[in-house]
Each structure stands twice: as structure tokens, then as C-alpha cells.
Amino acid sequence: MTASLSEILETFEFLDDWEDRYKYLIDLGREMPDLSADEKTDANKVRGCVSQVWLITSIEKGTDGSPVLTFKGDSDALIVQGLVAIVTALFSGKSAREILETDVEEIFSQLGLQDHLTPQRSNGLRSMVGRIRTDAQQALEAACP
């Protein structure tokens, strides 16, 4: 069972030391189910990440008919897998509109990620969020022609 965003935020707040936070990030990544080899396709690969990252988007209709997106992902790097866990906890189960309205920078600021990730990992994180926002925008456009 993967952690919820509120659990992640609470744990990050509790852990003072960044070494402990990195260990927690790695643990989050290890808790995520691996994607199968069949799911690690070029189409699911996130562009702009130094490490290999795959994201799979599922779309269902919510109770009001609007698209609700669910994500699962994987990476070949432990810390990046933890970042995938944060991103999927942040966005999975939300409507396309909620995803597009989420203040990602505020949440990443609460976690302190911008100050403790290498530029490459920060770029990869932005690429993951960009991919999710693009999927949300396309789902919204498809639902409201």
C-alpha cells in the first residue's frame, strides 16, 4: 500500500534531517508496485528525465461525468522512484480540472524538494508533472468537445 500525500507531508515534516528524508523517499519508491516489462514501453516513458521513468494514465468518468485520472509509474533509480510515488500520490484519483488547478510548486515547497534535489532530478520531476498535466488537459478536452 502506497502512502497518501498527507502521510508523505506529515513524515517529511517529522523528519528533520535530509539524509532521513532521502531514506524515506527511497522507501516510498520501494513500496510502489513495479510495472511489468510490457508496461515499460516507449509510449509510457516520460521524456526529459535522466533516469528512466514510465507513467501509465488511466481515465474514468467521475460521478459528475468529468474525467478522473489515476496514475502508476516506475523508475530505474531509487530516489526517482520515490519522486514517482509522491507525484502519483499527489495526482491519482483527482479530476482533470483538479490536476490542472493543483499548485504543485506550493506542495513541493512544503516538502523542501527544490532545495535538495539535483538540477537533473528537478527537471525530471517537472517533466513528470508536465506529462500528467498534459494527460489531464487532453482528458478534459476529450470529455468536453
Q: What is the DSSP string of 13-75?
A: HH--SHHHHHHHHHHHHHHSPPPPGGG--TTTBPTT-SS-EEEEEEEEE-TTS-EEEEEEEEE
Query: Maximum CA pair distance of the chain?
Result: 49
How many whole angstroms from its chain centre is CA 61?
21
Q: What residue type is assigned to position 80 of the chain?
A: V
Give the three cell numbers for residue 137: 488537459
Assess whether 144 carries a catalytic annotation: no
Considering the candidates 3, 32, 49, 87, report the single residue annotated as catalytic.
Answer: 49
- Which residues are part of the catalytic machinery? 49
